[in-house]
Amino acid sequence: MAWTEAKLIAEAILEGFERHYRLFREISEGAQARFEVADWPAVQRAARERIGFYDTRVGETVALLRREFHLRDPGDILWRRIKVEYLRLLPQLNQPELAETFYNSVFCRLFDRHYYNNSYIFVWPLISTEHLEAQVPIFRPYYPARDGFTRVIFRILRDMGFKRPFRDLRCDIRCLLLAIRTRFPTNRAIHQNFQLAVLCSPFYRNKGAYIIGKAINGADQLPFAIPILNDERNGLYIDSLLTGSDEISDVFSFSRAYFMVDTEAPAAVVDFLRPLMPRKGKAELYTAIGLQKFGKAEFYRDFLKHLRYSSDDFVVAPGIRGMVMCVFTQPSFPFVFKVIKDRFPPPKDMTPEGVKEKYQLVKMHDRVGRMADSWEYSHVAFPLERFSPDLRDLLESECAGSIELIGDQLIIKHLYIERRMSPLNLYLHGADDEDVRHAIREYGDAIKQLAAANIFPGDFLFKNFGVTRRGRVVFYDYDELCYLTECNFRDIPEAPYPEMEMSDEPWYTPGPNDVFPEEFETFLLTDPRIRKVFLELHSELLDPAWWRERQEHIRAGHLEDVFPYPAELRFREERTDCPKSMEMVGAG
């Protein structure tokens, strides 16, 4: 009887997963239609809705199990049998690794963390996914040496299945050919295996579609991406050619929204992507294609391995300590851990729940490459001996309600994990003039691009921004973040008496949502070097009229373009002299 019940429960959990993944694929496959009709509000809605699919399906499955079965304490042998029965069902799937994670989520929703070990859940994966790339073809090969680049490019575009026509395909192919000659290595011999391997499905995000592939020549692999845009009037067009790991990594950045892509066998897609971006782990790539729950599980496995093969302590993160979060790191691990403090000193006027809501807003919103994504965890066990004395004192004094000591473990009840960056204030302190100029250009561009996405950071202090390995400035302190359209941007009123301008206290009274951009200069631009560069590059950020104009754009429904690649890589100049006709070699 117990085995029969275990089998029924296992099947019920798997049915919950299959329903989840069916709906996940349906909304992801719909990205092509939304892109081709340029329904950008629908694109944003679908991105938000898909993020919530997983938790909804887990909740439905938990409710079903509680309703249909008499669930006993997991200490009973039943749950060990359920795991065995569930494991027997996984080889039939093309997403077994995701199904394991779904099982874990259901179990952890039902029971206490005391049982979070490999006897009851899949702490470590048990089903291999290595066979899936051969079983489910996920890329197509093309042979330029045999067929010519023009014919190959045409076939790649045709095979992507776009229904909306290209507005000027001949011009697009000419621009792409010119970029290939410029950007692909020309001083290397062509080997017998020379080919382009291209993923079968485009990657959709915001207002763009991306064809992802790699050029294979001998032992070399050169990754590339071809961004496709929709001009909303005359059709599609190729906007650029991106090559090399760094440019592709920027497109897949942790600070950008998740892609929509058809992934029958996600492990095979990730295995294809990993050599293209060797600095990104599986966790980041699964997350980039919208499978953030598995990315979170895979990241935790990487973290456990790192703990085992490292000996350095967790320490307080460098930089100015925040008023809302305690932040710590492990020097050998390129991430930071953020715990919400129990209490916030004035002038902070919010609750821990309010902080969580801000992080959820960032998760659901388009991050336009300027806000760091976070993995959110509950009841994480750390080895107590690995915490430095200063860090332990900090957590016990500031976050006592979020930690628990059990034996030799320190349990953190709720935390966020983000990729570590150099705090902008520390970066500027040691920067030369050239680096200051680059960082301030990036800083102002970050604020402008966030404004384009209807995000107002709230606190513009440099300590709230980080600098990535590639020199990109990213915002990561969300407690004062809000929608730009919620703000009231005001000019500073004229002082009633001239001497009031010299007073330490303002002569005007701000309302709850009032923002005075002219004040930014006072607290941001105290360093003459920074002031000079900022006023040269971004003086409009001090003008209330500029902010009000951004608000009107947003309220009018205008969705601005924010490109995940430099403007100089776009094909704008090449298009101006495109011929009216061009012979299409092999167009049939």
- Active-site residue numbers? 373
SS (H, E, C) 342-375: CCCCCCCCCCHHHHHHHHHHHHHCCCCCCECCCE
Among 258, 262, 229, 168, residue whose Cα is nearest residue 36: 229
> What is the C-alpha separation between 563 and 206, in angstroms, rounded?
10
DSSP per-residue string spanning 301-356: HHHHHHHHT--PPBEEPSSPPPSSEEEEEETTEEEEEEEE-S---TT----HHHHH
CB of 481 closer than 8 Å to CB of 361: yes
CA atoms within 13 A of residue 180's CA, in its CB half-sphere: 17
Whether residue 322 is annotated as binding a ligand: the answer is yes
Whether residue 400 is annotated as binding a ligand: the answer is no
> What is the C-alpha separation between 209 and 541, in angstroms, rounded?
31
Alpha carbon 329 to chain centroid distance? Answer: 20
> What is the C-alpha separation between 562 and 170, in angstroms, rounded?
26
Number of helices (H), then strands (E), belonging to the chain: the values are 21, 20
Q: Which residues contact 229 (CB under 8 A, 6 or more apart)?
A: 207, 208, 209, 236, 237, 239
> What is the C-alpha separation between 122 and 84, in angstroms, rounded?
11
| Cβ atoms within 10 Å, residue 2 | 12
Whether residue 350 is annotated as binding a ligand: the answer is no
323 phi and psi, to 5 degrees?
A: -90, -15
Measured over all CA atoms, what is the biggest interatomic distance in the chain, rounded to whole angstroms?
88
| Cβ atoms within 10 Å, residue 165 | 11
Q: Which residue has the tokens 């020309």?
A: 186
| H helix or E strand, kind and range, residue 474 | strand 473-475
Q: Which residues contact 308 (CB under 8 A, 6 or more apart)?
A: none
CB of 224 closer than 8 Å to CB of 203: no
Q: Which residues contact 5 (CB under 8 A, 6 or more apart)?
A: 69, 78
Whether residue 319 is annotated as binding a ligand: the answer is yes
Among 366, 292, 380, 372, residue whose Cα is nearest residue 334: 372
Whether residue 338 is annotated as binding a ligand: the answer is yes
Binding-site residues sit at 317-323, 338
Binding-site residues for ATP sit at 317-323, 338
